[in-house]
Amino acid sequence: MYIDLTGVILKNRYCIISQIGKGGQGTMYLARDMELGTFWAIKQLSLSMKKEAELLRRLNHSSLPRMTDYTEQDDKCYLVMEYIKGKSLNEYLKTNNLLSFEEILTITRTILQIFQYLHSQKPPIYYGDLKPENLMRTETGKIYLVDFGSALYSYGTVRKNIKGTKGYAAPEQYQGMLTAASDFYALGKTIQQLCGRNKYPYYMRSPQFAKFISKCCREDANRRWQNVSDAENCLNKVKTKPVSLKSFLVPTCAVLITIAAGILKAGVFPVLPEFQYTLAAVTDTFYSMDYRSADEQTRQRLGLDIERKLQKMLRFYKKSEEQIRLLELLAWNGELIGKANKSEFYYRQLITYEPQYGRGYLEFGKFLCRQERYEQSREVYEEWEKQTKEEKIDNSGINQQQIEEWQKQAEQK
């Protein structure tokens, strides 16, 4: 339940003036220090998220907000931090502002400097949720990286409920892993978003810049940048001299003509079939005699073929309800063919990147119980319970009996 904290005074010192932001993990307020007359940003978090405060206390970098005080009240904790007056790069882009090539390079270098600082800590700190929303730009153009709710120390990177944002999070984050290479993946995706419709002109302007982004965004973590030093060496070779109009228009027109010729030759523009019909064509295999009467090896082969087809559909059908249905089927199919790791991979996508999807928690928790991983099932149950209390997930389609059965299973020794 949301409670307006305007007028509330914390520690007999910080008077909350207004709410200035709200995210999946906390709410941000503007407060006035009644002793000094200065303004601070105060982040309200549940006590279970206080690790962000513990982490921020260690950090001291010019592009990170300083944490100056901390307090706990009821079941919440409050982080008193430097107030950054400005707006996120996501807000900046929404107002139809375009960033110049030079601005993009400056932002990229700033992020690399921040990564160098974080990754060089002992133990290293991995940020885990880089995106335009978490990059603040002040009125003077200075860039700050905010919101450390997803950050982890390197020793805590395996099999955790790692947070992230769909479209920016690296593939290995779906499997509960976070490394330096994961941060570089998010960097590549973030810079692509900041480039907007100028992405390909910028690539053509500097092939070295395109190479830098391409290596950031590789699916295989081992083929991405592994450290800031190598990434900076590549970026430093990028030339900022603008290209001539002719050198840009000629190859661009050639590409457009080729695409147009291909469409005209085909005679039609591609149109996606109805989702339900395409899905039925794939899932009919489950009900076929070939599948039902098949031996284990044949079923596995058919299951892998179903997985390939469902993965292909994921690339084309982008509506939220379509993505959820496909991920559900992929998770169930993985279990049917005896590939529990595949099932877990898809279940983690459901609960990590569709946080409002309540049934995903239930199905994932039951799956973990079937795998006799009761401790991890309890962790998922506790996460579901916390999200439900904060009214962030949709529990439609889940009856109380199903929840009670899951809780009973999860409590097994």
Question: Does 254 fall in a domain?
Answer: no
The residue-averaged pLDDT of 263-267 equals: 54
Q: Which of 78-82, 116-120, 290-294, 340-344 has the lowest mean pLDDT?
A: 290-294
Residue 201 CA to residue 256 CA, distance in Å, equals 13
Same domain, 178 and 309: no
102 or 249, greater pLDDT: 102
Same domain, 192 and 285: no
Residue 187 CA to residue 177 CA, distance in Å, equals 17
Q: What is the pLDDT of residue 315?
A: 86
- Residues 68-115: tens digit of each pLDDT: 899 998 888 999 999 988 889 999 888 867 889 999 999 999 999 999
59 or 406, greater pLDDT: 59
Question: Does 207 fall in a domain?
Answer: yes
Same domain, 67 and 96: no
Average per-residue pLDDT for the chain = 83
CB neighbour class for 321 (10 Å; exposed up to 12, middle 13-18, buried from 19):
exposed
Residues 6+ away with beta carbon under 8 Å from 136: 84, 86, 87, 88, 89, 143, 144, 145, 146
The answer on pLDDT for 157 being more than 60 is: no
Neighbours of 9 (CB within 10 A): 13
Same domain, 141 and 194: yes
Q: Report pTM.
A: 0.65
The answer on pLDDT for 247 being more than 70 is: no
Share of the chain above pLDDT 90, in %: 31
Q: What is the pLDDT of residue 241?
A: 57
Residue 79 CA to residue 274 CA, distance in Å, equals 49
- Residues 14-29: tens digit of each pLDDT: 999 998 887 657 888 9
Same domain, 307 and 199: no
Round the CA-based radius of gyration of the chain to a whole number and report it.
24
Residue 139 pLDDT grade (very low, low, confident, very high; cuts 50, 70, 90): confident
Same domain, 93 and 190: yes
Question: Does 261 fall in a domain?
Answer: no
Question: Does 263 fall in a domain?
Answer: no
Name beta bridge partners: 77. Answer: 45, 72
Residue 392 pLDDT grade (very low, low, confident, very high; cuts 50, 70, 90): low
Q: What is the pLDDT of residue 393?
A: 63
Most confident of 112-126, 168-182, 280-294, 349-363: 112-126
Domain boundaries, position 341? 275-410
- Residues 38-56: tens digit of each pLDDT: 999 999 888 877 888 888 8
Residue 270 CA to residue 272 CA, distance in Å, equals 7
- Residues 204-239: tens digit of each pLDDT: 888 899 999 999 999 999 999 999 999 999 999 987
Residues 6+ away with beta carbon under 8 Å from 147: 23, 25, 129, 134
Q: What is the pLDDT of residue 348?
A: 82
Residue 341 CA to residue 162 CA, distance in Å, equals 17
Question: ω into residue 123 within 30 of 0, thus cis?
Answer: yes
Say if CB 119 and CB 147 are below 8 A apart.
no
Q: Which of 258-267, 281-290, 328-337, 393-402 has the lowest mean pLDDT?
A: 258-267
The total number of structural domains that make up the chain:
3
Where does a domain end: 60, 82, 104? Answer: 82
Question: Residue 14 sits in a domain of what CATH number?
Answer: 3.30.200.20
Question: Residue 306 sits in a domain of what CATH number?
Answer: 1.25.40
Question: Does 327 fall in a domain?
Answer: yes
Total residue length of the chain: 413
